[in-house]
Copies of this chain bind each other. A is one copy, B any other.
Amino acid sequence: MFDPVEKLKDFIRHPSVSADPAFKAGMNGAVAFTSDLLTSIGFKVEIINTDLHPIILASRGEDPAWPHVIVYGHYDVQPADPLNLWKSPAFEPEIRGNRIYGRGAADNKGPLMVHIASVARLLERRPDLPLRITFMIEGEEEMGSPSFPKFLEAYSDRLKTADLVYLSDTLLPREDQVVITCGLRGLVLCDVVVTGSKGDLHSGLHGGVLRNPIQALAELCASLHTPDGRVAIPGFYDDVMPVEPWEREEIRKLGSDPEEYRNFLGIPAFHTPPGYTPFEAVRVLPTLEFNGIGGGYQGEGTKTVIPSKAFVKISCRLVANQSPGKIRDLLYRTIRERMPSDVTFEIIDQHQGLPYVVVPPDRSNTPKEQSPVLADAFRAADTAIAEVFGKPPLYLREGGSVPIIADIKRVTGLDSVMMGLFLPEDNLHAPNESFNLDVMAKGIRASERILESIADRR
């Protein structure tokens, strides 16, 4: 009998911190543990080496006529520092109340164990289940998945035989309210470096004859938003997927309290474009943010220089239908047009990421064609979650970006069903990370039903 909690404890005991080479043994241990576990429940396991940490690819079910689900997860975890803030050691799992504590408990070892356990139980009950399942478990998620795109390209022919990707690496806002994430924002990032004089100047001896690069940069930055909070770049909103009434209704049903959110952020007031609540704006609108700015003297006291250079780091979050390449071009053109000719400047490309959206079936007024297996998977999730958690899930786009989801779509054409399982209080990336054992149990039951429904769809 597969005991998921004991297995999760074993998994947590391997300190698989991907970012720190000192944890090489923990990484190897986590790979061996996961491989052995999947082998033990009947999977054929391959360890795919990458430039850094291996990817585990494990499959069962040979019949190409069967539906094929790829389950994504990651075996690596965040660093556990600061260690002194942990009540029990980060890599010695401890159960207190209805929670299991340890680094990786919620991100992502617990949710991944939910899926492994659900598959184990399902196959124990129905060894001949007509479903192809492939676990695709990487070890670089906490580092930004640098090796993943190359792996996707190399294995795309095999991965394309699947019907969908299924994963749990997103948020469960409340214990009784599952959210299926159906959209993620894309990214365009760049630095802008403005140069005035060739060296820093004495602000007394030369102040008043030239444009300070901080001033030029401030003037540029100030020009990039309208007073009511929209991005002031011509064409920026042209391709934005309009928000539909069903989406606004889902967001409303989430029942978040604006005043509570405002207090959480610690701001005097929201600043959202007119016509959108904060909960809508963060999900369905693109943004332009300044992530950092610097120039001149930043120490204590004063130094009366006119700096030679100043820079700003800009990131745009994009929503469905926006093209990172097109937005980058609009942004760069705007910067070039607005920068005065008495300074020089450079735009430095940083990375880009595609936005992602999958519209659940039976919702949109303007539905797109969708794989029937994917549509059935959504319907199965809807039913199973309603039965197990007591309420149907909400389908929400999220403000964050998970580049691998858009990458999977780009390379293989596959959409993802993202069932959130970690709670806000699970302390991801922080000391005393934990995973709720009731959520774990419910997740296993729901996942078992979802996979069984997909198998039985014919």
B296 and A302 form a contact (CB under 8 A): no
- Nearest-neighbour CB distance to chain B for A373, whole angstroms, equals 29
A185 and B204 form a contact (CB under 8 A): yes
B281 and A203 form a contact (CB under 8 A): no
The number of residues on chain A lying at the interface, defined by a beta carbon within 8 Å of a beta carbon of chain B, is: 81
In the complex, A221 has a CB within 8 A of chain B: yes
* Count of this chain's copies in the oligomeric assembly: 2
A268 and B344 form a contact (CB under 8 A): yes
Q: Which residues of B contact A341 (CB under 8 A)?
A: 268-269
In the complex, A2 has a CB within 8 A of chain B: no
In the complex, A125 has a CB within 8 A of chain B: no
Bound CA span A205–B282, Å? 7
Q: Which residues of B contact A217 (CB under 8 A)?
A: 218, 293
Q: Which residues of B contact A221 (CB under 8 A)?
A: 214-215, 218-219, 222
In the complex, A312 has a CB within 8 A of chain B: yes
- Nearest-neighbour CB distance to chain B for A259, whole angstroms, equals 13
Q: Which of B215, B268, B342 contacts A270 (CB 8 A)?
A: B342
Instruction: Type the 1/0 row for A340-374, where 1 means its CB is closer than 8 Å to any CB of B.
Output: 11111000001100000000000000000000000
A208 and B282 form a contact (CB under 8 A): yes
Q: Which of B187, B206, B218, B291 contacts A305 (CB 8 A)?
A: B291
Bound CA span A282–B343, Å? 19
The answer to whether A268 and B205 touch (CB under 8 A), given A291-B297, A295-B293, is: no
Q: Which of A276-295 contact B (CB under 8 A)?
A: 278, 281-282, 285-287, 289-295
A399 and B292 form a contact (CB under 8 A): no
In the complex, A197 has a CB within 8 A of chain B: yes
Q: Which of A196-235 contact B (CB under 8 A)?
A: 196-199, 201-212, 214-215, 217-225, 229
The answer to whether A296 and B306 touch (CB under 8 A), given A217-B218, A265-B210, A400-B202, is: no
Shortest 6 CB-CB contacts between residues of A and residues of B: A198-B266, A204-B400, A292-B296, A218-B221, A222-B222, A214-B290
